[in-house]
Amino acid sequence: MKLAGKAAIVTGAGRNIGEEIAVLFAQEGAKVAVVDMDEGRADAVADRIKDEGGEAVAVVCDVSDTEDITKMVATTADAFGAIDILVNNVAISDNKDIFELSEDEWRKTIDITLSSPFYVTKQVANWMVDNDRGGKVINIGSTSGFKGRPTALAYTAAKGGVFNLTQSLAVQLAPYGIIVNQVSPNMTGSPVGQEIFDRNRKVNNLVGRPGEPDEQAKAVLFLASDDASFIAGANLFVDGGTMAMASFASPAKRKDGK
């Protein structure tokens, strides 16, 4: 088992990519804190892990609230006696252009998608350093953080920030034995904030189909394991080849045609 004896926190683990990461980690021997704002979803994933013989605890947490994060970190440490791996997976998307996007929507998307990895990593890294432990942090980015989109603005800005956050965290935490990397998906599972996974939806990549959530989970497992012992501050595109293509979005116009 690649993660035997390790304790992991996975945020946004109640569905889609986060769920598959949590389940795969447990299958590989990790004890997993299944973190989600939705108590029912967190419980369901934790139960799924336990039904398969794994060890998990469901933790309800708003990762944009530092007091909630403090409680989540303490709950995980109390339950498992350790924190070895953090996966910052939570994100929301605006799916709007500059003319439609409100300032409140901008702030909420930035806070949850970009600021929460900072908030959570800060507290987990402090725990690791205070307890004289190294660890692994994997941020979930997006291809949207590397190019413009006609139908999202705050999300693309936030994910672009996550990549630079990943690199700076990698530089600042490496002296403490904390290794930080990033996985960047594209068109995987159900879209951010949506429930339905349409395997027939139109995609523009080299593989010719949407990604499966467990394909992202396998990449995250690789970075969390000793197989990635010489990888730090890196971004791994798990995108079906999307970023290898010269695909440019058509310019957007306001809906009133102006």
176 is catalytic: no
> What confidence tens digit (pLDDT) does each residue in 118-144 have?
999 999 999 999 999 999 999 999 999
Four-way CATH pick for 7-244: 3.40.50.970, 3.30.420.40, 3.40.50.720, 3.30.460.10? 3.40.50.720
Catalytic residue among 36, 155, 170, 192: 155
Q: What is the pLDDT of residue 204?
A: 85
Task: Give strand pairing partners of 88.
Answer: 139
Please state the pTM of the whole predicted model.
0.93
Which candidate, 46, 157, 45, places its Cα nearest to that of 111? 157
DSSP designation for 189: S
pLDDT tens for each residue of 41-75 = 999 999 999 999 999 999 999 999 999 999 999 99
Q: State how far the Cα of 81 lies from the Cα of 74, in Å rounded to an integer.
A: 10
**pLDDT for 193:** 57
> CA angle, corner 182, sides to 178 and 184, nearest 5?
170
| Average pLDDT taken over every residue of the chain | 93
Phi, then psi, of 176 in degrees rounded to 5: -100, 10
Please give the single-letter amino acid code of residue 107. Answer: R
pLDDT tens figures, 177-207: 999 999 999 988 756 655 655 666 778 899 9
